[in-house]
């Protein structure tokens, strides 16, 4: 499971995905009556990463409302679900969840419900109770010493979505085992993107794109002169940073979401070796075999969770899972030195040829 949370942490690895269709206007581009304008928020730091919102709306006032409402929703999710914020709901659960049932907001409870569904679907490859292992490897990074098997076994005993007690009537959660910890780093950003899109639509957006650290969702009318929203997928083999990124391929989207998990850009350096930031709850150690996993789905919440799960499951099991889910596709890149590109059967239709 990813070791990131919604704050600045070892957190969920995201490949540097970026929107290739550049907005060449100033922040405000006014048009005549009845015509749409386009507005770009630029990059803002939120949830420990950079976020960007692009919108098409009736006028500049509507566009500004769409952008600001989107960031309000993203910040709200961060305030609720970051385990780096002491007053967040997740931090409250991690402190008190074994002693008592903790009441949650509708949003946090909904994310936990969805998380358990994905845990069951993936046989635990996706699991938000992976917090004890996250904390173990966070300490290992600071000490520059890998955890021992006894430490891993002890942490694993506190992990397992089966140990979460959800009470839908009272909207509470409780831990069955002392020392459990939640980590929503593998799903909260996707959920925040979906909430941002939802509020943009309610404020009159004709189309738009939300990019939260590589979790991206596009909807409605694309930018002027474009038939699709175009997303660039970075080549992990080049090792370039965000200033010199190289596009491996471009994906064309209309209404849908993309999420990418990977270990080539964010990783845990311990004892001179790079370790994936994505932890397998069954082994208690970093995953191996995949440099990046990109999942295309109807919404960013599902794409985010499935990208994490496939990273844990590996090529064979991960591909088999995605092939069984209607409307979901994936693009996998194996670890170095091969960097083999593997696609699900329906992924090719999203690849832009020129």
Per DSSP, what are the bridge partners of residue 234?
A: 247
Of residues 183, 194, 186, the one with CA closest to residue 158: 183
pLDDT of residue 14: 36
Of residues 181, 165, 209, 167, the one with CA closest to residue 300: 209
pLDDT of residue 288: 66
pLDDT of residue 235: 76
Separation CA 122–CA 312 (nearest Å): 10
pLDDT of residue 16: 37
Separation CA 297–CA 292 (nearest Å): 16
DSSP assignment, residue 350?
G
Per DSSP, what are the bridge partners of residue 37?
A: 57
Domain residues for the domain of 333 are 1-354
pLDDT of residue 242: 44
Kindly report the CATH number assigned to the domain that includes residue 86: 3.10.520.10
Q: How big is the chain, counted in residues?
A: 354
pLDDT of residue 57: 97
pLDDT of residue 90: 98
What are the helix (H) ranges across the chain? 60-81, 89-96, 106-121, 131-143, 149-156, 188-202, 300-313, 315-324
| Residue 169: other Cβ atoms inside 10 A | 5
Q: What is the pLDDT along the chain (354 residues), one digit of tens a residue?
A: 443 343 333 333 333 333 333 333 333 333 344 468 999 999 999 999 999 999 999 999 999 999 999 999 999 999 999 999 999 999 999 999 999 999 999 999 999 999 999 999 999 999 999 999 988 877 756 666 677 789 889 999 999 999 999 999 999 999 999 999 999 999 999 999 999 999 999 999 999 999 999 899 999 989 888 899 999 887 766 544 444 557 888 999 999 999 998 754 544 545 555 545 578 888 866 656 688 899 999 999 999 999 999 999 999 999 999 999 999 999 999 877 778 899 999 999 999 987
Q: Which helix (H) or strand (E) holds 19?
A: strand 17-19
pLDDT of residue 32: 40
pLDDT of residue 28: 38
Of residues 201, 197, 222, 199, the one with CA closest to residue 210: 197
Contact 276, 308 (CB under 8 A): no
**The total number of structural domains that make up the chain:** 1
pLDDT of residue 287: 56
């Amino acid at each position: 499971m990813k070791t990131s949370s919604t704050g600045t942490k070892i957190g969920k690895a995201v490949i540097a995905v970026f929107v290739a269709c550049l907005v060449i206007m100033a922040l405000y581009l006014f048009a005549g009556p009845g015509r749409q304008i386009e507005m770009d928020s630029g990059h803002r730091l939120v949830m420990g990463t950079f976020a960007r919102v692009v919108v098409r709306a009736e006028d500049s006032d509507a566009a500004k409302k769409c952008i600001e409402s989107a960031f309000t929703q993203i910040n709200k999710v961060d305030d609720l679900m970051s385990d780096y914020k002491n007053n967040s709901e997740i931090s409250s659960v991690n402190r008190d969840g074994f002693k008592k049932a903790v009441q949650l907001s509708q949003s946090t409870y909904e994310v936990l419900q969805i998380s358990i569904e994905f845990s069951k679907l993936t046989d635990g490859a996706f699991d938000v109770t992976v917090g004890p292992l996250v904390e173990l490897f966070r300490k290992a990074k600071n000490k520059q010493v890998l955890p021992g098997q006894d430490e891993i076994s002890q942490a694993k005993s506190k992990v397992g979505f089966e140990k979460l007690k959800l009470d839908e009537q009272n909207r509470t959660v409780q831990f069955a085992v002392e020392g459990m910890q939640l980590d929503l780093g593998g799903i909260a950003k996707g959920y925040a993107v979906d909430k941002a899109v939802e509020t943009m639509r309610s404020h009159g957006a004709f189309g738009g794109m939300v990019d939260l650290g590589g979790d991206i969702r596009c909807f409605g009318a694309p930018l002027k002169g474009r038939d699709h929203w175009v997303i660039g997928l970075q080549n992990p083999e080049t090792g370039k940073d965000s200033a010199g990124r190289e596009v491996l391929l471009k994906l064309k989207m209309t209404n849908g979401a993309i999420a990418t998990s990977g270990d080539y850009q964010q990783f845990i350096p311990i004892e001179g070796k790079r370790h994936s930031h994505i932890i397998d709850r069954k082994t208690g150690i970093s995953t191996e075999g995949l440099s990046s996993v990109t999942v295309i789905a109807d919404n960013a919440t599902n794409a985010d969770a499935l990208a994490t799960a496939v990273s844990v499951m590996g090529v064979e099991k991960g591909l088999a899972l995605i092939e069984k889910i209607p409307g979901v596709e994936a693009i996998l890149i194996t670890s170095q030195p091969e960097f083999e590109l593997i696609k699900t059967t329906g992924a090719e239709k999203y690849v832009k040829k020129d």
